[in-house]
Structure 1
Amino acid sequence: MSLRRVLVLEGSARFLAKSAGLGLQIINLRSTDDLPVQVRELCREVQVVDFYSLDRISDTVLALHSQAPFSAIICQAESLQTVAGYLNDLLGLPGTSLATARLVSDKFALREQLRARRLSSAASAIAHSAEQLEIFTRENGPAIAKPRSGSGSWGVMRLERASDAASAWQWALKAGMTELLVETLLVGPEISLEFFSVAGQHIPLAATTKEVNERFVEVGHAVPAALTKRQFEQCQELVAAVLDTVGIQWGPSHTEVILTADGPEVVETHCRRAGGHINELVRLVYGVDMEELVFRHAAGQEIPLSGQPEANGAAAVRWLGAETGVVTSVYGVDEVADDSYVSEVSVLAPGTRSHGLRWAGDYLGHLIALGATPEEAMARASSLERKIRFVVEPEPLVSGCNARGVTREATDLLSLLNP
């Protein structure tokens, strides 16, 4: 029997390693030739490509497809979801379509769609000036302003009053933006729902609790979230309806939700598994690896899911950061790694430049700890985090935000595929 031929866009070594032993012929397209030899050997072919050239990507993929047809396209990279959707449509393959990928990438279009389906009551608008931000805040009360297409909490700003609009718009101009999405501030605990869909059947796997700093940057997650049965049922019902609305048919999804006093409200959804090592937390607690399931599905294997799995304890991740400057040394990592409750710990090497903690791209490392309850796991992770110390040498930093390139990458790729 011939192997199923699968196209994978980007993918970390850790992710690609999960295809081992599944009888797949992997063709991997990536922007840099950075795969370790042992992972590269899992792939039939690895090509370095320019994802910004849609014509070249199309020509490359069509040529590969003509040699031997692909049965699936796999992509977990946020910035490449629209490219994957475009290629699915081009080759007539199952999976996320361009229309779906474009909708979930455009936070304003998503909010409009959810309101039209009565799945959201939050007001939203696109502002092209500080004055428009002011008007929205006066009419709707406290608000959140953020890029229309962004990730990693980059550029998320709270407008408590209309007078906050000027500084938010000044930030947007410095970041090279000409518009901001502004939405009603949703008040309440934030969680995320991790689902896996098979032929349009949406299976809830986990609810994840989040801890964020004053800039809305996530500093910790815990699985499972401490929800009542009723809260989980309400969230599950809402998210399943959202996934139907945006057209997700198969694979993992990640949906962020605020538990407001009036019930759950969706912040945004994604047609990929969650970042932030949430996949690892779900694996540790529920024994389900969403990344492995993607490859198993591509291999034509039955997905062993019929409903939410049973939790076994809890797990939490904490993100590590430091003040601005250059990291000259790191202490405490070995001690933390030796703790019997630590699943993994990883830090960037000395010489790394630290920018503080303005968005997810500023993380210097992470650690994952286990516990009997999510509260215990998070408390333990927080305690262990304090044992890791970064020594930083102050250094003048170039003005601007190092997040810009990543977010503009996502925005530019999206613009390639807009009509």
Structure 2
Amino acid sequence: MAANIILLGAKRFISERAWQLGARPWIIQHPERAEDWVNRQSERVLLMDYEDPALIPMLKAAHAVTPFTSAITIAEEALLPCARINQALGLPGTPLELVEKTRDKPSMRRVLDSGGFSPVQWAAVKVPADAAAFAGRVGYPFILKPVDGVGSIGVRLVHGAQELEGVLNGKSAWIAEEYLDGPEYSVECFSFGGRHVILGINVETKNPDPTGSAFLEVAHQVPAPMSPERDREVRAFIRGFLDVLGLKDGPTHTELKYTAKGPRIVETHTRLGGDRLWDLVRLTTGYDLVDMTLQWAMGTLKPLEADPLPQGGAAIQYFTPPPGRLKRLHGMQALRRIPGVVDISLMVDVGATIRPAMQSEDRAGFVIAQGPTAVQALEICQEVRQRLVFDTV
């Protein structure tokens, strides 16, 4: 019998995979984010705001007729609604209280502080005086983030009080954190009854273009090039962090900085990572995090016994061409034939307006490659990026 699951924020790739695995998904998507293909190919689609008060009563009524196994999402904005659905229907999934901690940055910092783990100086701020007091203790520069922000949107590195004019107006909540220097990594993990299996460690490359956001990620490498000693330290650190957080089951995507004082948590998410990191993990370990997440919701996922050993390396490079109207695009078909290239995808077409790369949606496309090492895979990606010509006016 097909597993009856709820999919919030479903895109084509995950709804297709759900059907292939034998699930019978209920698709719930925000009307503004709906994809025609998903709607046409799905038997049951609800185009609703995830926070609509009518949603849970409707799902309760459906659950009474055809029981669901779980609700699942890979969309950040749907994590809290998904946890509320599971709690309301008595279904397994990441507990609502835990998701709330990860979605609210001050709450997560309090959890870490109470556990004496990953010490980072921080403060909740709403007006310039709050930030000035924090800078008086910590100094400049410091990081300022929306407390519930996603995708690096709104994150800024503050070098002086003048940069806060018009930002802290008392109407929205922000968190100030000490600036953590050092390379940034992200870790893809799946937990089974409190046992945390790490499937991939990625090193991130931020946007070097001064016209865009310096916090936007433009490249990833798996496995992250690092010494065996640092690799062991990062794995132990992530396991300790998830224990302090209280996470027992399911996927997590955790970002950290490796500072002069050792690893420090940046943030975590109770979902698999974005930016096609699941492809990089699959290319290097054979394990598919999309499949695993769906199978977890279906109740068919078999626990992994140990961290898989990566074979070779994989990388993704995003395209951030000069802003303007795209007049011509040259080279993509020929570049697909370069040895090691796995996929080249464009998110723009001729005639489209390319914006400065401030957030993920502003990137023009990507290339994925694999090679004997992650460094070599990234070199292939960079060759594609250099040879792909975006002619903007």
What's the CA shift string for 1:210-248, capped at 9, x where partnerless? 111251211100000012222222222222232233333
> How far off is 1:40 after superposition?
5.0
Cα distance in 1 for partners of 2:388, 2:171 equals 37
Which amino acid is 1:359 matched to?
A: Q
**Quick one: which of 98, 101, 104 aligns to 1:100?**
98
What SS is found at the alignment partner of 1:326?
strand
The equivalent residue for 1:112 is 110
Kindly indicate whether residue 201 of structure 2 is the aligned counterpart of residue 207 of structure 1.
yes
Match of 2:11, as an amino acid? S
What's the counterpart of residue 238 of structure 1? 237
Worse-superposed segment, 249-258 or 324-333: 324-333
Aligned counterparts of 1:114 and 1:250: Cα–Cα separation in 2: 19
TM-score in terms of structure 1 length: 0.86
Aligned to 1:329: 328
Higher mean C-alpha displacement, 73-82 vs 352-361: 352-361
| 3-state SS in 2 of match to 1:357 | coil
Give the 3 Å change call, closer, same or farther, for CA 327–59 of structure 1 in structure 2.
farther
Q: Look up the SS of the partner of 1:170 in the other structure.
A: coil
Equivalences for residues 267-306 of structure 1 within 5 A:
267-303=266-302, 305-306=304-305
Q: What's the counterpart of residue 360 of structure 1? A: 360
Correspondence 1:338-353 to 2 at 5 A: 338-347=337-346, 348-353=348-353
How has the CA–CA distance of structure 1 residues 392 and 177 changed in structure 2, closer, same or farther, with 3 Å as cutoff?
farther
**Residue matched to 2:121:** 123
Judged with a 3 Å threshold, the aligned counterparts in structure 2 of structure 1 residues 330 and 229 are, in CA distance, closer, same or farther, namely: same
User: Is residue 295–residue 301 contact of structure 2 (8 Å, CA) maintained in 1?
Assistant: yes
CA distance in 2, matches of 1:132, 1:352: 42
Q: Which residue of 2 aligns with 1:185?
A: 179
Which of residues 58, 61, 65 is equivalent to 1:60? Answer: 58
**What do the CA deviations read for 1:132-166 (whole angstroms, capped 9, x no partner)?**
22221231123111111112211221124xxx232
Compared CA separation, residues 232 and 360, structure 1 to 2 (3 A) = same
Counterparts in 2 of 1:267 and 1:51: CA distance versus 1, 3 Å: same
* Equivalent residues in 2 for 1:377-392, closer than 5 Å: 377-392=377-392
Distance 1:350 1:187, change over 3 A: same
Give the match for residue 413 of structure 1.
none
Tell me by how many angstroms 1:199 deviates: 2.5
What residue in structure 2 maps to residue 132 of structure 1? 130
Query: Does the CA contact (< 8 Å) of 1:330 and 1:390 recur in 2?
Result: yes
The answer to whether the Cα contact below 8 Å between 1:194 and 1:254 also exists between their aligned partners in 2 is: yes
Unaligned runs of 5+ in 1: 394-419
AA aligned opposite 2:108: L
Counterpart in the other structure of 1:13 = 12
Structure 2 residue runs of 5 or longer lacking an equivalent are 209-213
3-state SS of the aligned residue for 1:258? strand
The equivalent residue for 2:37 is 36
CA distance in 2, matches of 1:169, 1:375: 41
Match of 2:309 in 1: 310
C-alpha contact (below 8 Å) 1:145/1:168 kept by paired residues: no
CA apart distance, 1:172: 5.4
CA distance 1:360–1:129, shift in 2 (3 Å):
same
Distance 2:88 2:390 in 1: 48
In 2, Cα distance between equivalents of 1:165 and 1:322: 32
Amino acid at match of 2:365: G
Match of 1:88 in 2: 86
Task: Indicate how the Cα distance of structure 1 residues 168 and 279 shifts in structure 2: closer, same or farther if over 3 A, else same.
Answer: farther
How far off is 1:256 after superposition?
A: 0.3
Corresponding residue for residue 155 of structure 2: 156
Shift of 1:16: 1.7
Whether the 8 Å CA contact 1:219–1:318 is kept in 2: the answer is yes
Shift in CA distance, 87/245, structure 1 to aligned 2, threshold 3 Å: farther
The structural deviation recorded for 1:192 is: 0.7
RMSD (Å), alpha carbons: 2.0
Q: For residue 111 of structure 1, what is the amino acid of its counterpart?
A: R
SS at match of 1:259: strand
Which residue does 1:406 correspond to in 2?
A: none
The answer for the alignment partner of 2:162 in structure 1 is: 166
Contact 1:223 / 1:285 at 8 angstroms: preserved in 2? Answer: yes
- 2:211 aligns with none
AA at the equivalent of 2:199:
L
Q: How far is the alpha carbon of 1:361 from its aligned partner?
A: 2.4
Instruction: Give the whole-Å Cα distance in 1 for the aligned partners of 2:164 and 2:360.
Output: 19
Indicate how the Cα distance of structure 1 residues 186 and 349 shifts in structure 2: closer, same or farther if over 3 A, else same. same
Which residue number in structure 2 is paired with residue 404 of structure 1?
A: none
Cα distance, 1:290–1:137 mapped onto 2, change above 3 Å? same
| Structure 1 position 250 matched with structure 2 position 249 | yes
- CA contact under 8 A between 1:327 and 1:351: conserved in structure 2? yes
Secondary structure, aligned partner of 2:229? helix
Structure 1's 62 and 281: CA in aligned 2 closer, same or farther, altered over 3 A? Answer: same
Aligned residue type for 2:30 = S
Identity in percent: 28
* CA distance in structure 2 between the aligned counterparts of 1:88 and 1:344, rounded to whole angstroms: 36
The one-letter code matched in structure 1 to 2:80 is: T
d(CA) in 2 for partners of 1:302, 1:156: 36
Structure-2 change in CA distance of 1:380 and 1:177 (3 Å): farther
1:195 shift after superposition? 0.2
Higher mean alpha-carbon deviation, 189-198 vs 245-254, is at: 245-254
CA distance in 1, matches of 2:66, 2:215: 46
Equivalent position amino acid for 2:91 in 1: L
Aligned positions, number: 384
SS at match of 1:343: strand
